[in-house]
Amino acid sequence: MSAPDRLAEILHRMRRAEKAVGRAEGATTLVAVSKTFGVDDIRPVIAAGQRIFGENRVQEAKAKWPELRAETAGIELHLIGPLQSNKAREAVELFDVIHTVDREKIAAALAEEMARLGKRPRLLVQVNTGLEDQKAGIDPRQAVGFVERCRSVHGLAIEGLMCIPPVGEEPGPHFALLAKLGREAGTPMLSMGMSSDFETAIGLGATHVRVGSAIFGGRSYPA
Ligand SMILES: *Cc1c(COP(=O)(O)O)cnc(C)c1O
């Protein structure tokens, strides 16, 4: 199967998963994760109609997307990987949505660059639902307070929450926790679910699923 065929299949499965739990058709948005794939792999997916893409590294996105954006109108780019404060300016310049705000220093750096550049990407807070040492994201017990401080201290409107469940664990409880925190924080967007578990995430309220390998194929190097 080609990437456009796999894209169509994923969109079909998303619509089916929405229907299965009584959600409106189109209630979930597909972020096609193109990390590690080059412009020649991405172009056919754009040609098939996909406009929303996710990248996990600022430098990689900078190398690929200005060219692709110049070719096609309406591309929306999402940063789904960890952000360092020294990359905040480039991230604000490049991305329409940033899913990985997870600490004060990043919130402050983003606020500063957003003011400087007069551009306001939509922001989500990443929550480390599995409390994994090696994973980015804020402790779930601090997530609601952090969303509030982003607003009150940094003037940032946080629109949603994002999580990546631990490998090898049942993802459902992590998605349910994120949805509960989202209700408490009053943030409507929920970025959760990847190639192997996006239907579970849709069942638990995802508004954005981030699907890479099920569309583009296996990645030849880790990212
Ligand atoms: C790579 C990545 C994805 C996509 O993963 P697949 O299993 O290839 O669908 C989703 N979210 C994040 C944060 C990623 O880094």
Where the chain has pLDDT below 50, the residues are none
Q: Rounded to whole angstroms, how far apart are CA atoms 50 and 215?
A: 11
Determine contact, residues 141/178, Cβ cutoff 8 Å: no
Share of the chain above pLDDT 90, in %: 97
Residue nearest to atom 6 of ligand 1 (CA): 212
Atom of ligand 1 nearest to the CA of 210: 10
Ligand 1 centroid to Cα of residue 34, in Å, is 9
DSSP designation for 127: B
Rounded CA separation 166/183 (Å): 22
Residue recorded with tokens 């049942």:
170
Taking CB atoms and a 6 Å cutoff, what residues make up the pocket around ligand 1? 33, 35, 56, 80-81, 164, 194-195, 210-214
* Spatial contact of 136 and 100, defined as CB atoms under 8 Å apart: yes
- Pairing outcome for strands 97-101 and 76-79: parallel
Q: Residue 127 has what pLDDT? A: 98
- pTM of the predicted model as reported, rounded to 2 decimal places: 0.97
